[in-house]
Structure 1
Amino acid sequence: MQRRKVLIVTKTYPSISRKYKETVCTAGVLLDDSEKPIQWIRIYPIRFRSLNLDKRYPRWSIISAEIERNTKDYREESFRINDSSIDIVRKIDTKNNWRERKSLVLPLEFKSVSEIINNGKSLGIIKPQSIKKYFYRTTSREWSSRQQAIQDQLDLFEPSVELEKIPYQFCYDFFAQDGKHHKYSINDWEIMQLYRNCRNNSEKVTQDEKEINALEKVRQKLEDDFLNNKDLYFIVGNLKNHKNTFMIIGLFYPPKVEFEQLSLFS
């Protein structure tokens, strides 16, 4: 393994794994020694909730860690990580309309999912040409019997908090820059946690009322706020076993600005 710097851009909501019990897929940007962007990478698998607290990298942090290509994954962006080697270098802030964040991710922008595929890639950031609508779907409220059995496995050395099944998928219906129409679900941990926080903090009485209230709060964020006030980009990635099937694994949402004021000294 080689120690490299990586900008953490997004993390997916944890999924149940037979081999690892619970895993998270992290998407980020590989940086050179001077912290210039090189390429998109995914770090997988990683048992994020099992990491020591000082290793749990927040979104938009630059980490230094020992990584290597995951040779069991055909996707060239896929890397393994040595959990114990993680050092959090610094956090990238939102100053000047997310200027530094933009400088690190937008040089790696693709025009469309088709361009990502045609370039032999499986991960990237795109700006939709237009967004028709935000919507949500209901899903199962319980894990499958196989998934629940994995969670129920007793581990005397690593007690864990059971992973909650979110019974909704949050989605965008949009057109890419090449005019192609897509309906993608959002698997961004940040959005799933937004729903959970809104539900848990709701002042409604019944569970159904709390969920309805939370769904409306999520809609307000993803539709009213993001579509009207944000310069919205999608970080998209494919499924390992279905290489042409993509989903939104993260949202990049700097504020809309009328123009970017350039520094005389930049």
Structure 2
Amino acid sequence: MERRKILIATKTYPSISTKYRETVCTAGVLLDDNEQPREWIRIYPIRFRQLDFDQRYPRWSIISANIEKNDKDSRIESYRIDDSSIQILRKIGTEDDWSERKSFVLPLQFQSIQDIKDQGKSLGIIKPKSIIKYYYKKDKREWEDKQKATLDQLDFFEIPSNLEKIPYKFGYEFIENNQVKHKYSINDWEIFELYRKCRDISKKSTLEEREAEALEKVRQKLEIDFLNKKDLYFIVGNLKDHRQTFMIIGLFYPSISKESEPPEPNYTQLNLFDF
């Protein structure tokens, strides 16, 4: 293994694996010794919630860790990581309209999903030409039987808490610069946590009402706020066993410049969470 620096750009919501138990896919930017961006990198598998607290890297942090190519995954961005070697070096803030964050990820921008494929890649950041709509849809409320069995086998001290199955999926339908239309789900941990937090702090009396309120808060954030006030980019990646299938694994959303920013929408401002 080789010790390298990595900027953490996004983390997907944890999934249940019969082989790895609970895993998170992390996407980021591989840096050189001078912290200049080199290429996109995928770290998988990693049992994030089992890491020591001082190693649970937040989004937009630069870490140092021992990594090596994942010989079980032929996608060129895929690496394994030595959990015990993780060191969090510093956090990249949002000052000056996210200028430092932009300096890491935007030089590695692709023109389209097809551009990613044509270069033999499986991971990258794109700028949609236009958003047709934000959407959500119902999902299963419970884990599959195999996933439940895996959860039941976990030692009480092995995982901090039970992993909740979020019963909704969120996504965008959009058009790229090459006029191709896509409808992609979002698997960004940050968005699922936004839904969960809004539901849990709701004062409504029934679960159905609390969920409805949370769904509306997520809609306000992803549709009203992001589509009117943010310069929205998608961090996208494909699936290991379905290479033609991409999804949004992270959202990159610096503010639109003040000069062109529309009036403030009339809704309660929400903050996303760095996970």
Q: In which range does the TM-score fall when normalised by the shorter chain?
A: over 0.9
Whole-Å separation in 2 of the counterparts to 1:161 and 1:93: 29
- Deviation, 1:155, is 2.4
Residues 1:172 and 2:169 aligned together: no
Cα RMSD for the two superposed structures: 1.2
Residues 1:69 and 2:93 aligned together: no
Residue in 2 that maps onto 1:192: 192
- Deviation, 1:71, is 1.3
Whole-Å separation in 1 of the counterparts to 2:174 and 2:30: 28
Residue identity matched to 1:110: F
Residue identity matched to 1:183: K
2:49·2:159 contact (CA, 8 Å) conserved in 1? no
Residue in 1 that maps onto 2:26: 26
Residue in 2 that maps onto 1:263: none
Residues 1:214 and 2:214 aligned together: yes
- Number of residue pairs matched? 260
- Deviation, 1:251, is 0.0
Unpaired segments ≥5 residues, structure 2: 260-275
TM-score, normalised to structure 2's length? 0.93
- Deviation, 1:173, is 0.3
Q: Identity of paired residues, percent? A: 67
Whole-Å separation in 1 of the counterparts to 2:13 and 2:78: 18
Residue in 1 that maps onto 2:79: 79
Residue identity matched to 1:95: E
Q: Secondary structure at the match of 2:114?
A: helix
Residue identity matched to 2:4: R
Residue in 2 that maps onto 1:146: 146
Whole-Å separation in 1 of the counterparts to 2:35 and 2:193: 30
- Deviation, 1:158, is 2.2
- Deviation, 1:258, is 5.8
Whole-Å separation in 1 of the counterparts to 2:50 and 2:233: 30
Whole-Å separation in 1 of the counterparts to 2:88 and 2:112: 32
Runs of 4+ more than 6 Å apart: none
Residue in 1 that maps onto 2:43: 43
Residue identity matched to 2:189: W
Whole-Å separation in 2 of the counterparts to 1:79 and 1:233: 24
Residue in 1 that maps onto 2:10: 10
Residue in 1 that maps onto 2:254: 254
Q: Secondary structure at the match of 2:163?
A: coil
Deviations 1:105-144 (A, max 9, x none): 0000001001001110000000000000000010110111
Whole-Å separation in 1 of the counterparts to 2:251 and 2:80: 23
Whole-Å separation in 1 of the counterparts to 2:157 and 2:169: 33
TM-score, normalised to structure 1's length? 0.96
Whole-Å separation in 1 of the counterparts to 2:257 and 2:116: 27
- Deviation, 1:159, is 4.9
Q: Secondary structure at the match of 1:115?
A: helix
Q: Secondary structure at the match of 1:96?
A: helix
Whole-Å separation in 2 of the counterparts to 1:49 and 1:140: 23
